[in-house]
A and B are shown apart, each in its own frame.
Chain A
C-alpha cells in the first residue's frame, strides 16, 4: 500500500503548539507511508489540489489528513480523494487540533502526541477497504411538525415547490403563538391580519394535508423513507361534517371552561372554536368540562348541530403516513413563572404574563380589545412591565436570554398608551437588547414618543396594597436607589422554554437536544437548519429563541433543504453499517435485542436461523458488534481488525 500523509498547520491553530514539519518527518518513517507534507491550510483549494496532485504523482492508494475534527471536514477530504480517483473510504483523519493543539501548550508533548495519532490513523488506513454506497428511492413527501408561523412557512414553501406536505399540529388550530399576538414589532401591524392569509393558504393548498389536534406518536425509518404514526386525538366532532357555524358554542351550557387560547384570561364553552380565524375552523369538545361526557346529561350541542357532526363516542385514531423528510417546528412555551414567589407565584390576579396581556389587547380577546384588570375589570392607569422573568436568571435554571421580550415589551408599552392615553407605563429592564432591523429605533420610540419610563434594575417584590393596587419594589441601578411604584397592573415578560414534550419528540426523531430541551442543529454556525439525523430539519424557536422574521426565514430555509434533498431521485446509503458473517453467527439473537433501530432481523439460511442487517435501517452505531459473543457482526470501516491495529500502534508508541 502507498500512503500519503498531510499534517495541516491550520494557520497557527495547530502549528502554534505542534511542530508540524517534524510530525510529517516522523510520519515518513511509518510503514507504507511514501509521502508526507505539512501544508498551511489543507482544506483550502490549494491544499486540496496538493492532495490530488500527490495522489497522482506518488500513486497513492490511501491518504491520512491530520487536522481538525472529522465532523466538519471528513466529507470535504473524502470528496478530494474521490476526485483523484480513490475510494472515499481510503481516507483517514487524525484530530490534532481539538485533541492536541487546542488543549495543550507543551510543544514537545503535543508534537509527540500528534505523531502518535497520525500513526494510529496510518495503521487504521492500512486495514481499510474500499466501500461502495448503495442507492435507494426517495419518497418525495415531507412531514412538518408544528403549525406555528415557522411550520406554516416551511409547509407552504415545500408545497409551492411541488412537494406533498403532511402538517401535524397539536392544537385545534394552526397559527401557534403568533395567532395569539395582537400586534407585531417593529411595524405594529396586526398579527392576525398578516398571519391569517398564510393560514388560509395552508387550508386551501392542494399539496398540504393538515392534521390538527394531532400528535406524532412514532417515527421509524430513515432519510427518504420515514414511516410516521400520527395520533388524531378525538375532538368528539366529525370534522367532515362540521361547518364551523358556531351554533354549538352559542348553546353550550358549560360556560366556565378555561379558555386556553386566551391564555386563561377568560372562559369559554366546553365545545369551542379557538378564534374566528381558526384553521381549520372546526369545533372541538373539551372532555374535562363537557357535561355530556362527564355526567352523561346534556347533549345540547348534538341537538343544535345542523349537520349532526357531534360524536360523543369518538375515539383517537392512529394514521400512518410515509414521508421522505421531516421538518420539526414545535415552537416554545412560556416557563412556569410561579416559581417566583416574590412576585406572588401566580396568586395575584393583576400580575399577568405578557402573552395574557396580548390577549387583553387583542380585539378577539376576552375583553374585546379593551384593557381591563382581571381582578375588578377596571381600566389600569399605571402599568409596570417586568422584563427577564425567567430569562438570564441562573437561580431558576434559565440562564439564557429569551431574545424578543425587550421588543414586545416596548410594543406593549406603545399599545398601552394607544389604548389608554392617560396611562403611564414603567419598564424594569436589565439591558435593552434590540439588535434587529428598525428594532432599536422602535424601543427609543416607546421611550421618547410614548413616554414610557424605563428603569434599569430588577424587581425584588410585588405585593398588593390597601387600595387594590400592586406595590412593585425594585432598584434603579443607574441612580443606585430603591424604587417603589404603585401599579394597577403588572405584566411579566416571562421567559421562553422549549415546547412541552420537546425531549420526547427529539427521541422519536433521533435528534439531539440541549439541557433546556431546544433541538440541536448540526453546526451552530454553518448548519443551523440541519440536524445530525439525515433528512430531519429544524425551523423556528424549537432550535433556539428567535422572533417572527427569523422563524419565517428558518422555515423557508428548512423548506429549501427539503427541496434540495428531493431534487435527487435516489439517495446513497452510508456503507458504514454492520454486516453479519453467517459462518460465525450462532443465532443467539443478542444483536436483535440490543439494536435501538430495529435494524437486525432473523432469517433462515439453508435451514438455519441467522441474523441479517437491514442495510437501509442500520445507523452504524456499533452496539451489535460489541454485543455479539462470536464476533460475527462487524461494522464496516470500524472492524475489530481495524480497531486492534490502532490499539497495537498505540501500545508500541
Chain B
C-alpha cells in the first residue's frame, strides 16, 4: 500500500539513518512511502519562533501539494515537522490567517488538507501489535530498553493526539511486540534541550545528561527514540552530556525503526547503524549471544521457555 510521505530536512542530512531504517521497516511491513513531489522545509524551530505566518506558509505549501495528490493521509517521521504541519493546518481554520498565508503563497491553497500523522502512528494504524510480532525474525527478548519520546511527540496534547501527554506508551507497545523488555522511564517526555544545543550548550548537556543518567541507572541497554533532534542531543552530544554530569555514558541511542529493523533481521546497512556515534555493536553482539544461547538449549526447554514467554 502506498502512503504520501514528507521526509523533512533531517531525513536528508543529520538523520539519514532514521530515513533509511524507516524506509526499510515500512517496506518490510508492506507500506510504501512515496515522497510528495517538490516538498520544502517545514521551517523547523527558527521559522515559527520568528514569524507564525511565514512558518505556516512553508508548511501549507507542503500540505497543499499533498492535497493536490489527493493523499488520504500524509506521514512524516519527524515530530517537529509533524507539529509544524498540524499547527499550520489548525491555524488555517481561521479565515483571516488563511487569507494572509494564501497571499504569501501567491494563490489560494486547498480548502481541506489531508490529515498528517507520524510514521509511528501510521504503522500502528495500519497493523496491530500481533502483526508486528508476526514479522519479527530475531526477537529482542532479553534486551532492556527505555522509550524516550521527547517533549514534542505528545504535546500540545490537543494537537498531537498521542495518548496521555505525560505518559505516552505507543513506542513501548511496539518494542514489546518485538520482544524487548521495556523499562518504565519517568523522563520519557522530558526535554533533551532541543535546538538549544547551539545557543545554550550547557543547558542542553544537562538536560540530555539527566535522561542518559536515568537510563543508565535503570540498566537500559539502549534508549529508543523517534525524533532526529533528540537522537542528536543524546547520541552526537553524549560526550558533552557526560562532561556535564561528570561521568562517562556509553548508551546507544537508536531510532525505533532501527530497533524494529534489527528485530525484523533486516540487513544492517539498510538500517544505517554505522551512522550512530555511540556504537550499537555491543548491543547487536549481546542480542546475537542471547539468540545463540537460546538456540543451544534443548528443544524441550525451548518450548517451555516459549510458553513462559507468553
Residues of A within 8 A of B (CB): 340-342, 344-345, 347, 461-466
Contact across chains for B166 and A340 when beta carbons are under 8 A apart: yes
Nearest chain B CB to A346 CB, angstrom units: 12
Complex Cα distance, B183 from A347, in Å, reads: 13
Contact across chains for A461 and B164 when beta carbons are under 8 A apart: no
In addition to A341-B164, A462-B186, 14 A-B residue pairs with Cβ atoms within 8 Å of each other are A340-B166, A341-B166, A341-B167, A342-B166, A342-B167, A342-B189, A344-B186, A347-B184, A463-B186, A463-B187, A463-B214, A465-B214, A465-B217, A466-B217
Nearest chain A CB to B223 CB, angstrom units: 15
Contact across chains for A345 and B167 when beta carbons are under 8 A apart: yes
21 residue pairs from A and B, CB less than 8 Å apart? A340-B166, A341-B164, A341-B166, A341-B167, A342-B166, A342-B167, A342-B189, A344-B186, A345-B167, A347-B184, A461-B186, A461-B187, A461-B190, A462-B186, A463-B186, A463-B187, A463-B214, A464-B186, A465-B214, A465-B217, A466-B217
Nearest-CB residue, chain A, relative to B189: A342
Nearest-CB residue, chain A, relative to B168: A341
Nearest chain A CB to B197 CB, angstrom units: 17
Which parts of B199-234 form the interface with A (CB within 8 Å)?
Answer: 214, 217
Nearest-CB residue, chain B, relative to A464: B186
Nearest-CB residue, chain A, relative to B157: A395
Complex Cα distance, B123 from A65, in Å, reads: 69
Which parts of B160-204 form the interface with A (CB within 8 Å)?
Answer: 164, 166-167, 184, 186-187, 189-190
What are the residues of chain A within 8 A of B187 when measuring CB–CB?
Answer: 461, 463
Complex Cα distance, B184 from A347, in Å, reads: 10
Interface of B is mostly: loop
Nearest chain B CB to A338 CB, angstrom units: 11
What are the residues of chain B within 8 A of A463 when measuring CB–CB?
Answer: 186-187, 214
Nearest chain A CB to B208 CB, angstrom units: 15
Nearest-CB residue, chain A, relative to B169: A341
Complex Cα distance, B164 from A464, in Å, reads: 20
Nearest chain A CB to B257 CB, angstrom units: 26
What are the residues of chain B within 8 A of A345 when measuring CB–CB?
Answer: 167
Nearest chain B CB to A190 CB, angstrom units: 38
Complex Cα distance, B187 from A461, in Å, reads: 8
Complex Cα distance, B186 from A466, in Å, reads: 13
Nearest-CB residue, chain B, relative to A342: B166
Complex Cα distance, B164 from A344, in Å, reads: 13
What are the residues of chain B within 8 A of A344 when measuring CB–CB?
Answer: 186
Contact digits for B228-259, partner A, Cβ 8 Å, 1 yes 0 no: 00000000000000000000000000000000
What are the residues of chain A within 8 A of B214 when measuring CB–CB?
Answer: 463, 465
Nearest chain B CB to A395 CB, angstrom units: 8
What are the residues of chain A within 8 A of B217 when measuring CB–CB?
Answer: 465-466
Complex Cα distance, B210 from A465, in Å, reads: 10
Nearest-CB residue, chain B, relative to A460: B190
Complex Cα distance, B184 from A345, in Å, reads: 12
Nearest-CB residue, chain A, relative to B216: A466
Complex Cα distance, B207 from A461, in Å, reads: 13
Nearest-CB residue, chain A, relative to B190: A461
What are the residues of chain A within 8 A of B167 when measuring CB–CB?
Answer: 341-342, 345
- The 10 A-B pairs of least Cβ separation, nearest first, read A463-B186, A341-B167, A341-B166, A342-B166, A466-B217, A341-B164, A463-B187, A461-B190, A345-B167, A344-B186
What are the residues of chain B within 8 A of A464 when measuring CB–CB?
Answer: 186
What are the residues of chain A within 8 A of B186 when measuring CB–CB?
Answer: 344, 461-464
Which parts of B117-174 form the interface with A (CB within 8 Å)?
Answer: 164, 166-167
Complex Cα distance, B166 from A340, in Å, reads: 8
Nearest-CB residue, chain B, relative to A466: B217
Nearest chain A CB to B265 CB, angstrom units: 34
Which of B186, B187, B214 is the most central at the interface, judged by chain A CB atoms within 10 Å of its CB?
Answer: B186
What are the residues of chain A within 8 A of B164 when measuring CB–CB?
Answer: 341
Nearest-CB residue, chain A, relative to B187: A463
Complex Cα distance, B188 from A341, in Å, reads: 11
Complex Cα distance, B190 from A242, in Å, reads: 56
Nearest-CB residue, chain A, relative to B186: A463
Contact digits for B26-53, partner A, Cβ 8 Å, 1 yes 0 no: 0000000000000000000000000000
Nearest-CB residue, chain A, relative to B167: A341
Complex Cα distance, B167 from A345, in Å, reads: 9
What are the residues of chain B within 8 A of A341 when measuring CB–CB?
Answer: 164, 166-167
Complex Cα distance, B186 from A347, in Å, reads: 11
Complex Cα distance, B166 from A564, in Å, reads: 53
What are the residues of chain B within 8 A of A466 when measuring CB–CB?
Answer: 217
Complex Cα distance, B218 from A465, in Å, reads: 9
Nearest-CB residue, chain A, relative to B191: A460
Complex Cα distance, B214 from A462, in Å, reads: 13
Complex Cα distance, B220 from A454, in Å, reads: 36
What are the residues of chain B within 8 A of A342 when measuring CB–CB?
Answer: 166-167, 189
Nearest chain A CB to B272 CB, angstrom units: 32
What are the residues of chain A within 8 A of B184 when measuring CB–CB?
Answer: 347
Nearest chain B CB to A468 CB, angstrom units: 12
Nearest-CB residue, chain A, relative to B214: A463
What are the residues of chain B within 8 A of A340 when measuring CB–CB?
Answer: 166
Complex Cα distance, B267 from A529, in Å, reads: 75
What are the residues of chain A within 8 A of B189 when measuring CB–CB?
Answer: 342
Complex Cα distance, B185 from A344, in Å, reads: 10
Complex Cα distance, B166 from A461, in Å, reads: 9
Nearest chain B CB to A128 CB, angstrom units: 53
Complex Cα distance, B186 from A408, in Å, reads: 29
Which of A342, A344, A345, A347 is the most central at the interface, judged by chain B CB atoms within 10 Å of its CB?
Answer: A342
